[in-house]
Structure 1
Amino acid sequence: MTSMTPETSAGEGDLFEGDPAMFPDQNRGGAPAAFRAEPDGFDRVPPQDRDAELSVLGGMLLSKDAITAVVEILKGYEFYKPVHETIYLAIVDMYGKGEPVDPITMKEEFTRRGEITKIGGASYLHTLVQSVPTAANAPYYAEIVRDKWKLRQAIEAGTQVTAMGYAQDADPAEVIEASAARLLTLQASFDMGKDPAGWDTPMEELIEAWEDDQAAGENPGLPMPWEDLQSMLCTVPGHLVILAGRPGMGKSVALLDLMRHLAVVHDRPAAFVSLEMARRQIMNRLIAAEAEIPQHDIRKRALDDGQWKKYDKVRDRITTSPLRLIVPPGGITVPQIRSALRRWQIEDRLPNALAIDYLQIVKPDGQGRGGNRTNEVDAIARGLKEIALEFDLPVFAAAQLSRQTTGRESKVPQLSDLRESGEIEQAADAVILLHREDYYEPESERAGEIDMIVAKNREGSTGIVTAGFRGRFSKIEAMGQDF
């Protein structure tokens, strides 16, 4: 195996489509001049391996098996020298058409395209073949090329982070957030396999995947404490589910119940992000619901012996459950949520579901601040849906309904009552409107009941699921259970 020695000549072209005003002199996969030059004037060359690049292309010109193996590793942009990317893409194109690939056929192809001079002439193609020790090692050389590209990507990311830090009007929190997102995005991009977006997935493969899913048996969807609602929604990864209601209607109770049921009852990781309660308040509600101890007694710290016994019975179950309660200091933006999930993804700690309480108080990101409020909420709703799809998990978010519900004779909420944004309804896979008669009429015949009105359901039917609202225990239970 020959040693791959980096070339010492600089390449051309851009690795990233960055801001040319910010990085006017970046070269292919490199860094601005200020970061390429040593104090003594020595030019620092971005990571590359000319011999590996030559050997990859030479192997592909000698063997179609090498082509098949290399295309699983490289896309073309990983080459440091633009001419090598041009040759690589031409080889892949010819191979894809079923044409023979060798120095002679490629010379004819480049001549036909008028690019034979651009790639250094026919002699350069023969040089590629002569430089490869053996075509069988082409995949190994391709890994070297990809690793050098990753290093250039890391250098570029670091340069961009440095530039943000030096900006005169830089906000430290925003710079740190953007830096973390940039670096975590870079890590995630390195982990992507072949055709991650499905651009080239044939229908036969999709059909086979569908058949495998059907053969796996019934999919009840994400476990919920209310069987009728679970059956109606059949919530799966990628869904955005909105639970909407007026203040005090039970949105937070419903969200925490969902995550508590998933983590404590089914031992599946769940994350509850609260933007309006302290962690102590959430813990009070969690223990009240699980141990069935009135919240009032917990808040007063006035538990009697019987209540302590109830707590003792559930303590281990709560302690060992994979539930995370998150209260971000100073609020949170969609990019910050994405960054946290990306870190968990890298650490293999993604939850099975994420709950956000609540949507309209998620902070707009730096670009959205000071803008139109409707546009800000639209962007937040779209961002949460994108997160559900990107991380392949269901996202539940509470949303506030407008005051117009209280001004009508019928207080039953409608989709049009969603406050400040039509995009919430558009982005959601399901919208559940919460309604309690006793919220408006304490002496109602339906006191203690809550209607979960499925007003939108992209993958199923709509309807109403009625459950028992046990406010003093911060709990919603399926009808028919002993209260």
Structure 2
Amino acid sequence: MAEPIRLLPAGTADAPEMPRNVEAEAALLGALMIDNRLCEDVQVKLRADHFHEPIHGRIYEAILKLVDRNMVANPVTLRPMFESDEAMKELGGPGYLAQLTGSGAALIGARDFATQIYDLALLRELIGVGRTMVESALDTSEDVDPKSQIEAAEVALYRVAEEGGETGSVKSFAQATKAAVENAERALNSGGHVSGITTGLDTVNARVGGLHRSDLIILAGRPGMGKTSLATNIAFNAAIRRVRDREDGIDDAKSVGAGVAFFSLEMSADQLATRILAEQAEISSQKLRMGEIGHHDFRNLARAAAELETLPFYIDDTPGLTIAALRTRARRLKRQRGVDMIIVDYLQLLQGSGKGGDGNRVQEISEISRGLKQLAKELHVPVIALSQLSRQVEQRENKRPQLSDLRESGSIEQDADSVWFVYREEYYINFEKPKEASVEAGDDAGAVSAFDIWQKRMSDAHGIAELVVAKNRHGATATIPLKFEAKFTKFSDLADDRFGGPR
């Protein structure tokens, strides 16, 4: 058994050699020059920088370049490309290329050689990450931030792990068809409508089919519309469905529920938990904070708390996260907790990498929205990102939001697979309340006062919210009426024939 690699102090003469197999590199290059068709198999995974010997990496790159031009790559055609290569001269000149093809037996094990070269390259990368971690940790200067070092190390380790995963994202039509059939089976098992992860709202599921994996969903609205409440409702509904599906013996892969990671950049974890408890126990969150609850309410609260304890629901309330740090934490939660849905509250509170240095907020928001979309694809989970809308909504007579209201960047609309707006007309009508004595027309006994008209409008709009699906890559747009209980900040399906379902 090989001894483990030991990291020795800097300057030690007997530092261990880096993992490598120069003979395997030479044999593979010889095989590729004898049979160029082998390039099709190895180039998907193997890059020039995976070779330990730089000259071997350059030869490999030259072979691929000629093959890509539909030219034969052999010692004769490659010779002009290495006439003046200093490293090649040290090996005896371009004649070294002919030496590499000396053993035809290498053709048999070419794929195994490529795999070993690749694996050894990953080991060298791991050693590099480890050394960087050690050097960074030994730096005790005042401007050192250990947390940022940990995040950087996680990003580097994940990059190595990611490279060691699938050989590419190309799928055969048979594979793609299998995935489509599995989605259809999931929709069938759920009772219909849901091919992705359930929102817990039947009218929404019926219109959008649930939350689709790899999608970025932007949930936007002006302050006071209830977008955080809707996000917590959806998160709870998905998490509780996952628990119930497990109890029913349904495998996680076939479940329409999900483990949820909730990144709360605005509210603390205990504030968010209080809100969710209030929603599920149907207790006023204000009364809950003030302690103004009776024994019946407390029993409901205890029941909801006991139910929440078992949920696959994880809250990260770290303030001021960068998009890179959020992606690192999301990967960790995916790996350790198996989360299948990510919610970010809210997008504008995230920070970019700051690499631009010009303070351009539009570019920063573009980087953030692009990063969230990449995260959804990378982890194969739906990402719901809450977003603020610009104040221009308030300046219009019609306050219903539209795509152009998305704040600070059009790239949010571009990167998103779906854009949802939360709109409550009741919120705006409430500010239009006239004096009770005002009269609409004249002093006639039968005249209707402005207050009566306002009161009628308030009555019609009371407890009604609209989820406006303004963009939907998987289907048509729609306006979906929902019931909103402001006291509990809870959304539910609206059992009201006046609206006739989604429009």
1:213: how far off? 4.2
Tell me if structure 2 keeps the 8 A contact 1:233–1:430.
Answer: no
1:95: how far off? 7.8
What's the counterpart of residue 198 of structure 2?
Answer: 223
What's the counterpart of residue 364 of structure 2?
Answer: 376
State yes or no: 1:78 paired with 2:67: no
Write the deviation string for residues 413-465 of structure 1: whole angstroms up to 9, x where unpaired.
22222222222222222221211122122451211111111222233212211
What's the counterpart of residue 340 of structure 1?
Answer: 329
Write the deviation string for residues 296-346 of structure 1: whole angstroms up to 9, x where unpaired.
332233443323443454444322221112211x33111011111222344
State yes or no: 1:461 paired with 2:476: yes
1:382: how far off? 2.2
Tell me if structure 1 keeps the 8 A contact 2:419–2:470.
Answer: yes
SS of the residue aligned with 1:321? coil
Separation in 2 of the partners of 1:98 and 1:382?
36
Separation in 2 of the partners of 1:417 and 1:95?
51
What's the counterpart of residue 108 of structure 1?
Answer: 76
Separation in 1 of the partners of 2:42 and 2:413?
45
State yes or no: 1:274 paired with 2:264: yes
1:279: how far off? 1.4
Write the deviation string for residues 102-145 of structure 1: whole angstroms up to 9, x where unpaired.
xxx8333334766698484446544564597x754544444432
What's the counterpart of residue 300 of structure 1?
Answer: 290
State yes or no: 1:181 paired with 2:169: no
* Cα-Cα RMSD: 3.8
What's the counterpart of residue 250 of structure 2?
Answer: none
Separation in 2 of the partners of 1:368 and 1:89?
33
Map 1:30-429 → 2, pairs under 5 A: 39=11, 45-57=17-29, 74-89=46-61, 106-111=74-79, 118=88, 120-122=93-95, 125-126=98-99, 129-130=102-103, 136-158=108-130, 170-172=143-145, 173-191=147-165, 193-196=166-169, 198=170, 205=172, 207-216=173-182, 217=184, 219=187, 220=194, 221-234=196-209, 235-267=211-243, 268-328=258-318, 330-347=319-336, 349-367=337-355, 371-429=359-417
SS of the residue aligned with 1:468? strand
1:208: how far off? 3.1
Tell me if structure 1 keeps the 8 A contact 2:27–2:100.
Answer: no
How many aligned positions are there? Answer: 435
Tell me if structure 1 keeps the 8 A contact 2:261–2:330.
Answer: no
One-letter amino acid matched to 2:295:
D
Tell me if structure 1 keeps the 8 A contact 2:348–2:387.
Answer: yes
Separation in 2 of the partners of 1:278 and 1:292?
21
Tell me if structure 1 keeps the 8 A contact 2:79–2:94.
Answer: no
Distance 1:108 1:300, change over 3 A: same
Which has the larger displacement, 369-378 or 426-435?
A: 369-378
One-letter amino acid matched to 1:479:
L
Give identity over the alignment, percent: 28
What's the counterpart of residue 428 of structure 2?
Answer: 440
Write the deviation string for residues 342-363 of structure 1: whole angstroms up to 9, x where unpaired.
223444x342211111111113
Separation in 2 of the partners of 1:353 and 1:270?
5
Distance 1:240 1:308, change over 3 A: same
Tell me if structure 2 keeps the 8 A contact 1:116–1:122.
Answer: no
Tell me if structure 1 keeps the 8 A contact 2:215–2:373.
Answer: yes
One-letter amino acid matched to 2:325:
Q
Write the deviation string for residues 250-287 of structure 1: whole angstroms up to 9, x where unpaired.
01101101111100134321111111112111111212
Tell me if structure 1 keeps the 8 A contact 2:82–2:94.
Answer: no
Distance 1:314 1:185, change over 3 A: same
Separation in 2 of the partners of 1:346 and 1:106?
45
Separation in 2 of the partners of 1:379 and 1:89?
32
SS of the residue aligned with 1:473? coil
Separation in 2 of the partners of 1:361 and 1:127?
57
Per the normalisation by structure 2, the TM-score is: 0.74
One-letter amino acid matched to 1:54:
A
Which has the larger displacement, 143-152 or 86-95?
A: 86-95
Tell me if structure 2 keeps the 8 A contact 1:36–1:45.
Answer: no
Distance 1:287 1:168, change over 3 A: closer
Consecutive unaligned residues of structure 2, counting only runs of 5 or more, are 188-193, 244-257, 431-454, 497-503
One-letter amino acid matched to 1:359:
L
Distance 1:157 1:324, change over 3 A: same
Per the normalisation by structure 1, the TM-score is: 0.77
SS of the residue aligned with 2:327? helix
One-letter amino acid matched to 1:351:
V
Distance 1:454 1:370, change over 3 A: same
Tell me if structure 2 keeps the 8 A contact 1:73–1:139.
Answer: no
Distance 1:389 1:215, change over 3 A: closer
Distance 1:333 1:123, change over 3 A: closer
Separation in 2 of the partners of 1:151 and 1:231?
49
One-letter amino acid matched to 1:363:
Q
Separation in 2 of the partners of 1:150 and 1:465?
50
Separation in 1 of the partners of 2:261 and 2:302?
24
Tell me if structure 1 keeps the 8 A contact 2:29–2:100.
Answer: no
Tell me if structure 2 keeps the 8 A contact 1:373–1:420.
Answer: yes
Distance 1:311 1:82, change over 3 A: same
1:44: how far off? 6.6
Separation in 1 of the partners of 2:274 and 2:15?
61
Distance 1:92 1:409, change over 3 A: closer
